[in-house]
Amino acid sequence: MLKANSETDSYRQSAEDAWSAFIRTRFGAGHGPLGRSGRATRLPQLEVEFETMQKFFAVAKQHMNACTGAGCLPTEILATIVSLAQESWPAKSVHHLSLREDTDDEVVTYDLGWMNITQVCSRWRKATLGNPALWQTVHCLGLPLPLATDILSRSSRLPLRLYIGDGVHDISNDVITNWMSWPVLRRTSLLHIDDTSYDDDVNYERWFSAITQPMPILEDLSISFNLDGSVTLLPNNLWVESPPALTSLQLSNCFLPNWNSPVLGDKVTHLCLELNWCYEEQEASPTTMEMRNLFSRLTSLKLLTLSNFWPKKDTPPPDPFEFYHGLEIFDSDFSMDGMFETHYSYFWALFRVPSTTTLYVNGYNDWGEDGDDHPGLVDPITQVDNATSPALGLVVDDFLVKLYYAETPLLAHSPPPKHIFTDAHSDRSRSCRTLKCKNSAAQFLIHLLPLESLRIISITAPAMKRITALEPGRGWLLKFGPARNVRRLDVYYAHSLALLDDLAKKDANEGFPLFPLLDSLVFHHDPKATANSVQTSLDLMLLELLAIRHEQSAGIQELMVDWRMESWSVWSQVNQDTTKVLFFEP
């Protein structure tokens, strides 16, 4: 250590001596005191020396940075770092009120986000600026307009992905004029417009001249406007000149002028048509036949989203249409009860979804509070022929039911969450159908489902409480009596007292009317359920159930228990010769 310190001190002294001599050479007078005229001549020279020294100070800094860990990373790793930074650190604009008392105007400042990486060191700057692929995605509102030319030139004429608007801040006409000029749009492969901020003076027609320009390589188009009284009808000359080869289209609160456009053909894989609300048929809505023809052309469609989007009724209605089997996800939302009553059953009677498609139906306003009088609500999830494609699994939440037509997704021992929320983009399980509604699914919908073919049922804690409270003593049998082929049941142990009691009951023939073929119970843990006097009754009921079922040759062969309940004494009292107890980590 002493030797190292000595070497460092020696090198520092040597560097100071060298730089001291160099500075004297470049900055010293050299010929004694200068007169007034000499100083006037010498000062500009010294200023040049000083400016040059600062320039080469930056060069020296570059050499020093090159010896650091960050400064010597391979270009490929730097590109990965920048790509990750782009995802989590986007450029953004910051809006705040002016501090001046004589104006109410907003002041806009900019945070360039990931682009600040170019200031780390020279190597990072060169690697970032020298990789055109890093500059293809542009969030336009996050950048000051004077930077537009520099940003666009860095992409080296590669295809651009433009995001204009964030649904919060107003979009100026200057932004539209500059970012959607012809030289930009001809290179644009993705264009997402989000002009949904609440502005009483907004005029959506200001976009029309831009979106009707030729965009020859455009593949992904999204246009979102705010619904203010009526739907915006896009211009008639849209896609007339140089129509794009779209693979993805999203329209929110705006309609196409022509639903028979050849742009919507076999190349489209994603289609999203949304309205914030819909009280009645819209004049510009497609007719049922136009929508049928549209879907028939979309032979490559994989993801379909319809939100409050109902076709106008045709009289007589056309023949039913079944979507192609390549459709992976269909997400349907509705929030207006008037349109539900008049168009819901009509739509699902004419548009059929294959059993291999993941279907979500989200009803935010479907019926009245006493509304068990709309059996048609389950039509889209029960229209599968249960004889040829039987429903194998069921998940029940208080406000949701999910049917599986393939057994594989249910084999994992992950507990049903306290509440299940549908998300068409996160749940990629194929062959399942989900219905989310405003009122209790456990109370109103279970008896309408194809229970006879089910093999597995999973029930959340809120749904268990609801079923138990419906009719104490027979709520479970009342709801699930027809499900006689169920072999496995996933429930929350803390809420299963009434269920276990019903499972132990016999009918007049000494058989078990509730799940007679049940051989596997999966108990999940509810961390919010506290141990109380019911715990003893629950444990005794479980042991009694196992004994009674075993005596009648209908034994529960397997108990699978969340490992967080492993220390509970009841499991050690289970007869391991007749019922295996296994613990799992969810």
Task: Give the pLDDT score at 425.
Answer: 47
Return the minimum-mean-pLDDT range out of 58-67, 72-81, 106-115, 367-376: 367-376
Around 217, how many Cα atoms within 13 Å sit in the side-chain half-sphere? 15
* pLDDT for residue 582 is more than 90: yes
Would you say residue 130 lies in a domain? yes
pLDDT for 199 beyond 70: no
Evaluate whether 234 touches 256 at the Cβ level (below 8 Å): yes
CA torsion 386-354-396-416 (nearest 10°) is 120
Residue 526 clears pLDDT 60, i.e. is over it:
yes
Q: Which band of pLDDT confidence, cut at 50, 70 and 90, is reported for residue 134?
A: confident
Domain-embedded: residue 282:
no
State the residue range of the domain holding 128: 77-135
pLDDT at residue 157 greater than cutoff 70: yes
Q: What is the pLDDT of residues 535-545, one digit of tens each?
A: 889 999 999 99
The mean pLDDT of 355-378, rounded to a whole number, is 71
**209-246 tens-digit pLDDT:** 999 999 999 999 999 998 776 788 999 999 888 899 99
pLDDT of 53 above 70: yes
Q: What span, in angstroms and rounded, lies between the C-alpha atoms of 42 and 300?
A: 78
User: DSSP E strands: which ranges in 370-511?
Assistant: 393-397, 400-404, 432-436, 456-459, 488-492
Quick one: tokens of 375? 């059996």
Question: Pairing state of beta strands 432-436 and 303-307?
Answer: unpaired
Residue 57: inside a domain, yes or no?
Answer: no
Residue 84 lies in a domain: yes
Query: Taking residues 56-71, what's their average pLDDT?
Result: 63
Position 21 scores a pLDDT of 74
Neighbours of 109 (CB within 10 A): 10
pLDDT at 369: 45
pLDDT of residue 70 exceeding 70, the answer is: no
**Range in 195-204, 284-293, 318-327, 350-359 the model is least confident about:** 195-204
Start-to-end Cα distance in the chain: 53
Please report whether residue 119 resides in a domain: yes
Q: What is the pLDDT of residue 421?
A: 41
Domain count of the fold of the chain: 1
Of all residues in the chain, what percent carry a pLDDT higher than 70?
A: 84
87 domain-assigned:
yes
Average pLDDT over residues 101-116: 75
Kindly state the DSSP code that residue 228 receives in the 8-state scheme: B
Residue with tokens 């597995």: 456
- What's the Cα-to-Cα distance from 10 to each of 1, 23, 179, rounded to whole Å? 14, 20, 59
Residue 480's closest CA among 525, 438, 448? 448
Task: Indicate whether 14 pLDDT > 60.
Answer: yes
Q: pLDDT tens digit string along 371-385?
A: 454 678 888 988 888
Q: What is the pLDDT of residue 224?
A: 93
- The pLDDT confidence band at residue 61, using thresholds 50, 70 and 90, is low
Tell me what the pLDDT averaged over the chain comes to.
84
Q: What is the mean pLDDT of the segment spanning 469-486?
A: 87
**Is 467 contained in some domain?**
no
Q: Residue 123's pLDDT is what?
A: 77
Domain membership flag for residue 88: yes
- Residue partners of 35: CB distance under 8 A and separation at least 6: none
The answer to whether the Cα torsion of 41, 43, 44, 50 is positive or negative is positive
